[in-house]
Amino acid sequence: MSASYSRTVELTCPRCGRPFQAEIWLIVDAAERPDLLERLRAGTLHTLTCPHCGHEGQAAVLVGLLHDRLGDEWRDEWVAGLQVVPREMLPLVLSGGWEAARREMERQVAQALERLRREDPEAYRQLEEAARQAILQMPLVQVLQAFIQADTWAESRRILEEHPELLSDEADALLRQLIDAARAQGDENAVRLLEEHRSLLGRCREVGAARAFAEKMLPPQALEAAQAAGLTPEQALE
């Protein structure tokens, strides 16, 4: 039995207004139909041509159209768990895989943001502010997650400055719960990571964030040299 699947549908040409039948491929087995795979890569699999006037267009209805035509025979589980990729990324997914497509989409987003920064600084500033406000409104557990998963200690400190609630008893209790859960699961790496950040927050409460992060970010030798020179850790970090 063929794994590839198509449906023949009745369409109306938007140019000449005349009806015609078209075959729309909904499932393509690459091993079974390499010809269809090549059409996918070329971006022409869903290009439909009106036999009356030669007008070409893309079939943009696909799954939704199939859903409507099948009616009660449709099953939601057919599309459960499907990964969605923009049409323009489909050839890259087929040739390089999902990871290559993800990197390309990230690159395009970064380029779009950089173009916005250059061409419309005010809109870019508003976008940055909206993102910052979104972070400020995150629930405590999400703030903790961002704090712990930050790429650098400087980023962790910035998050703490924007979310002083990380120094609250509630945050400390939540961290203790997370540590207990990680320990119960035998995840020692998570335990060490969580305990390190809990200890840092405790130190922030004791001596202030500036000194605590300076102690965290400077190597022991630099701290000793600063002390010998009569400098505070914060001054050594500067």
Predicted confidence (pLDDT) per residue in 64-84, tens digit? 555 555 567 665 554 444 444
pLDDT for residue 200 is more than 70: yes
> CA-to-CA distance for 238 and 13, rounded, in angstroms?
69
Which pTM value belongs to this model?
0.41
- Is the sign of the CA dihedral 85, 87, 91, 92 positive or negative? negative
- Averaged over 11-26, what is the pLDDT? 77
pLDDT band, very low/low/confident/very high, at 196 (cuts 50, 70, 90): very high
> By three-state DSSP, how is residue 180 classified?
helix
Q: Give the pLDDT of residue 238.
A: 54
> By three-state DSSP, how is residue 114 classified?
helix
> CA-to-CA distance for 51 and 53, rounded, in angstroms?
6
Q: Give the pLDDT of residue 38.
A: 78
pLDDT for residue 20 is more than 60: yes
Average pLDDT over the chain reads 75
Please classify residue 157 by burial: count the beta carbons closer than 10 Å to its beta carbon, then call 0-12 exposed, 13-18 middle and 19+ buried.
buried
> CA-to-CA distance for 216 and 75, rounded, in angstroms?
55
30 vs 20, which has greater pLDDT? 20
Which residue from 144, 219, 214, 154 is spatially nearest to 174, judged by alpha carbons?
144
